[in-house]
């Protein structure tokens, strides 16, 4: 089947994004020198780039870094959310897009996307996060830049995240070792599904 122009464009977007993000891994390697690029900084850049992608594809919502407040009490905040997709305007905001931080009411929050530069297994921290967030928002997705291991490992991670309370798991690519060399495989199908899911949010 011939790929549509939209699919070709999305494939190009993914290749360009992964190439850009992989440059950060080089700066995170001790072989580059010490100190290396901080994990928090790399994660922040990943989240910010994904916010740009989401902004291009959202139809009726806003997307920002921030926290959610329970408007019934007015003083009960959620944990920090890498990406909140919400209706209307936040009740508080600071900074501009690259470093913008908002506080939104739970009634306006549609979806939280937890971002990670890499994932290998589902940790206790991963499992605890949705327990708190489900009080504030109906849906939580987990978005990883990459995961390490076999294709089957992706299914294991997805099942564990779903069991923990995440509604979806997306990953841009996987890294794996073969004959002593590192390789990567871009996940075009899940990337297209991610963009489609963002566009179809109601």
The pLDDT-based confidence of 12 (bands split at 50, 70, 90) is low
Judged by DSSP in three states, 122 sits in coil
Return the structure tokens found at 76.
């009960």
The pLDDT-based confidence of 4 (bands split at 50, 70, 90) is low
Return the structure tokens found at 159.
């099942």
So what's the pLDDT on residue 29? 59
Residue 116 pLDDT exceeds 80: yes
User: Which residue do the tokens 């594809």 mark?
Assistant: 57
What are the tens digits of pLDDT across the range 133-189? 999 999 999 999 998 888 888 899 999 999 999 999 999 999 888 888 888 899 999
* Mean pLDDT across 12-27: 78
Calculate the dihedral angle through the C-alpha atoms of 189, 194, 196, 197, rounding to the nearest 10 degrees: 140
Strands (DSSP E) contained in the chain are: 62-69, 81-86, 92-94, 101-105, 109-119, 139-148, 168-178, 181-186
Residue 13 pLDDT exceeds 70: yes
Residue 32 pLDDT exceeds 70: no
What are the tens digits of pLDDT across the range 43-93? 888 899 899 999 999 988 999 999 999 887 777 899 999 999 999 999 999
**Could you tell me if 83 and 113 are in contact, meaning their C-beta atoms sit under 8 angstroms apart?**
yes
> Between β-strands 168-178 and 139-148, what pairing exists: parallel, antiparallel or unpaired?
parallel
So what's the pLDDT on residue 72? 79
Residue 37 pLDDT exceeds 70: no
Give the separation between CA 150 and CA 65, rounded to whole angstroms: 31
Enter the pTM of the model: 0.85
So what's the pLDDT on residue 1? 44
Residue 8 pLDDT exceeds 50: no
């Amino acid at each position: 089947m011939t790929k549509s122009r939209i699919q070709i464009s999305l494939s190009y977007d993914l290749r360009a994004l992964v190439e850009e993000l992989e440059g950060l891994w080089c700066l995170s390697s001790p072989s580059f020198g010490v100190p290396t690029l901080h994990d928090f900084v790399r994660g922040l850049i990943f989240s910010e780039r994904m916010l740009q992608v989401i902004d291009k594809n959202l139809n009726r919502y806003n997307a920002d870094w921030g926290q959610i407040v329970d408007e019934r009490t007015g003083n009960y905040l959620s944990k920090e959310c890498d990406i909140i997709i919400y209706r209307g305007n936040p009740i508080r905001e600071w900074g501009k897009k690259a470093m913008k931080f908002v506080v939104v009411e739970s009634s306006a929050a549609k979806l939280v996307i937890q971002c990670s530069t890499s994932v290998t297994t589902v940790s206790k921290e991963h499992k605890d996060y949705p327990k708190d967030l489900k009080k504030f928002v109906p849906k939580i997705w987990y978005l990883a830049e990459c995961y390490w291991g076999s294709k089957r490992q992706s299914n294991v991670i997805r099942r564990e995240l779903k069991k923990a309370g995440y509604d979806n798991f997306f990953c841009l690519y996987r890294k794996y070792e073969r004959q002593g060399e590192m390789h990567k495989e871009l996940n075009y199908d899940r990337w297209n599904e991610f963009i489609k899911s963002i566009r179809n949010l109601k």
